[in-house]
Amino acid sequence: MFLRQLQNELWKLFGKKRTYIGFAMFLLAQNAIILMFRFTNATRPMKRLLESNGYFAQDFVSTLTISTVMVILLAVTLLPLYVALVGGDQVAKEAEDGTLRMILSRPVSRTRLLLVKWLAGVVFSIVLVLALGVFGLAFTRIWFPGGSLFVFIPGEVFGVFDASTGLARYAEAHLIMVAKAVTVFTLAFMLSCFNMKPAAATILALSFFLINRILEEIPYFKEYEQWFVTYHLDVWRWVFIQHIPWWQMAQSLFILLGFNVTFLTIGATVFHVRDIKS
């Protein structure tokens, strides 16, 4: 019965047009970036950097490298926006529309309903991250050749990998990025359980992460960067470090797990005690 409820929740979620905004915008943004790289001299600084480090640059101007450049940017900007949009809708939109009242006239516990909705959101987060990765590779492949992977994030990552290792790292990064997407989704979902408009839940969730990002980016706070959730949200980027700091990454993932459990518990408690009115 639980699986049927989850299946129906997915029907509801993927039956809505607004669910696809994220996918559509990824397509748009990725193709814009790809075309910029293809028809301008934007790859020149990348080549210079590689050659100054003794690498044959042409091998690295590849599908994997351009896809990774896009992912690094889109995962910071657009991904949180779209998972927060869906998370903010999950409960608040149904409460606003009145369909929640219809469901809650049925003998289903609020906790179970919330769990089903949360899991549907987790599935959405996974699909969106998957789309980000696959779309990136697929569209970049149209304009760029296959080849090695070069990743450069100033002050954080300088990685060069052959094609097969690069592809594995690319896949692993997306796997860990799911933790980021789910965390952002869960915060928006928690806020959605309060008596507020869906847009308010989305905006509040995004504001929370933006404030964390601002605090993290202030140079004077550098030694406290681990205090901010955004630091842990971006651990997927460490997959591109030559020697992956697995232990540090595991610690950050546990912290994200803690955030998720806390958000979900608060959301469930609020949802349980609140009155559902027309």
Contact between 269 and another protein by CB under 8 A: the answer reads no
Nearer to another protein, 100 or 149 (CB): 100
Q: Which of 20, 56, 97, 248 binds another protein (CB under 8 A)?
A: 97
Q: Which residues of 125-160 are buried (b: 16+ CB within 10 A; e: fewer)?
A: bbbbbeebbebbbebbbeebeebbbbbbbeeebebb
Could you say whether residue 5 binds another protein (CB under 8 A)? yes
By CB under 8 A, what part of segment 103-122 binds another protein?
Answer: 103-109, 113
Asked whether 185 and 125 are in contact (CB, 8 A), the reply is yes
Q: Contacting another protein (CB under 8 A), which of 41, 52, 219, 275? A: 275
Q: Indicate whether 219 belongs to the interface with another protein (CB under 8 A).
A: no
Helix, strand, coil shares, percent, the chain, to 5: 80, 5, 15
Stretch of 2-10, 50-58, 127-135, 148-156 contacting another protein, by CB under 8 A: 2-10
Contact status: 11 vs another protein (CB under 8 A): yes
- If one asks whether residue 99 binds another protein (CB under 8 A), the answer comes out as yes
Among 252, 264, 124, residue whose Cα is nearest residue 186: 264
CA dist 35 and 29 (Å) reads 10
Residue identified by tokens 């809505």 is 16
Q: Binding to another protein by residue 20, rule CB under 8 A?
A: no
Contacts of 73 (CB under 8 A, 6+ apart): 33
Q: In this structure, are residues 57 and 237 in contact, taking their beta carbons and an 8 Å threshold?
A: no
Does 273 bind another protein (CB under 8 A)? Our answer is yes
Give the residue with the Cβ less far from another protein, 3 or 247.
3
Assess 178 for contact with another protein (CB under 8 A).
no
Binding site for another protein (CB under 8 A): 1, 4-5, 8, 11-12, 15-17, 97-99, 101-109, 113, 273, 275-278
